[in-house]
Amino acid sequence: MAERINSIMKALLAAAVLAVCCAAPLARAQIGTIVDPLPSPEQVTFSDVELAQITAYMTKRVDAIIDGETKDRERARGEILEPLRRAGVSVAFRRAVSSAVLDRLSAAADSSAEDVVINVLFVLAEVADDATRQVVQQHTDDESQSVRYAAVGAMRRTFRVVETFAPAIDPTRVGEMVGHLEDRLKAERDPQVSLAITRALLQAGQIRRDGFDGASGRALAAVSSGVGAPLRQADDAARPIAMLGCAFVGEDLTSRLQTPGSTRPEFARSAAGYGGEMLAWLVYKAGKGEIPAERKAEVDLARLAERCVAFASIKLGGSPGEPGLATLLEQGKDQEFFDQGRRFVLTLSGSPWSLPAPDMKSIQDALEGK
């Protein structure tokens, strides 16, 4: 599965939008060209003179992002991001940067030039306070697929900033970001953007910081229960990308369930719900005779789903062991997989999983191909 994920992701990363979205590596020679005075990003207080220096430094580079040629735009973006990515960067510095650039970048985010918009979104994501995230969030339902993709990627970057640095945004606002992405996952019809939302929610689930447990837990619950719908709705062309998103979720959940220590029961049930829904969808496809002869992706997904259910059982006080459904699928015993799989997923309403009614409804919908 890991090799398959890596190979498909290499293909996706070749898309042109990513060349613009992803922050370019900051070469030392490039950083060395910065000559404008800038206070240390580690400072926690700034004088009026220092605030003016921050404003001048940032404004000059924001202007280049908005009005410059491609090379100038990339250099300016790198010179904005470099101090924001230094170890020990302070909340005060982030807020000073936000104050300096917010109005100009907010206006530029509505530019008709997509490359400008995408660069702006990723700068705003790195500032990562409440005001900048609101601008980014507004663009997740843009008419342009490239802009939606970039906006979701920018939200993912903000989650990473919250995890890595002293956050300039409070847990409630991060929870709002998660809720917004949960809604977008339900509404989004483009498979690549759906995949980006899935990965952003998984990133939010990685936040391990005091006070942010609610947001990270909600993110994992949202992606566990939400990733099935894009898979069921996908046509033949979009299905490999949708399956990839499901595989990312399965890899993440199984890794967490295997981590020693206590696991919240609600998380274990979310993982079991994910596993049950994936198996139910595969059961439906098997019943329709639509499992292809080359079925490695389907078998891998079935195996991840089984493991989620089995590990969740252990965490909830049940017995270990996998039902062996993936093996049946691998051996081409589709009728046996259909019969046994259908019976098995319906048992998840009982002990030890005791899945709630909404999760069982999702499983039933998947069994019926809804």
* % residues pLDDT > 90 (the chain): 87
Task: Give ∠ CA 270-272-278 in degrees, rounded to 5.
Answer: 105
pLDDT tens string 273-295: 999 999 999 999 999 999 999 99
pLDDT band of 96, cuts 50, 70, 90: very high
In the prediction, which pLDDT does 262 show?
Answer: 76
Q: For residue 228, what are its two tokens? A: 């099935």
Task: Give ∠ CA 212-200-112 in degrees, rounded to 5.
Answer: 120
Contact between 276 and 325 (Cβ < 8 Å): no
Per the DSSP assignment, residues forming a β-bridge with 129 are 168
Contact between 50 and 92 (Cβ < 8 Å): no
pLDDT tens string 310-325: 999 999 999 988 899 9
Side chain identity at 360, as an amino acid letter? Answer: M
Average pLDDT over residues 84-104: 96
Mean pLDDT of the chain: 91
pLDDT band of 23, cuts 50, 70, 90: very low
In the prediction, which pLDDT does 182 show?
Answer: 97
Q: How far is residue 296's CA from residue 277's CA, in Å, rounded to a whole number?
A: 19
In the prediction, which pLDDT does 3 show?
Answer: 52
Per the DSSP assignment, residues forming a β-bridge with 168 are 129
CATH class of 1-182: mainly alpha
pLDDT band of 159, cuts 50, 70, 90: very high
In the prediction, which pLDDT does 32 show?
Answer: 40
Q: How far is residue 222's CA from residue 202's CA, in Å, rounded to a whole number?
A: 9
Predicted confidence (pLDDT) at residue 29 exceeds the cutoff of 90: no
Q: How far is CA 12 from CA 6, 190, 197, 287, in A?
A: 10, 14, 15, 31
Average pLDDT over residues 340-356: 97
Helix (H, G, I), strand (E, B) or coil at 144: coil
Q: How far is residue 249's CA from residue 223's CA, in Å, rounded to a whole number?
A: 7
In the prediction, which pLDDT does 20 show?
Answer: 41
Predicted confidence (pLDDT) at residue 42 exceeds the cutoff of 70: yes
pLDDT band of 260, cuts 50, 70, 90: confident
Average pLDDT over residues 292-315: 97
pLDDT band of 128, cuts 50, 70, 90: very high
Predicted confidence (pLDDT) at residue 125 exceeds the cutoff of 70: yes
Predicted confidence (pLDDT) at residue 24 exceeds the cutoff of 60: no
**203 CB contacts (<8 Å, ≥6 apart)?**
156, 159, 160, 163
Where in the chain are all domains bearing CATH 1.25.10? 1-182
Q: How far is residue 184's CA from residue 195's CA, in Å, rounded to a whole number?
A: 11
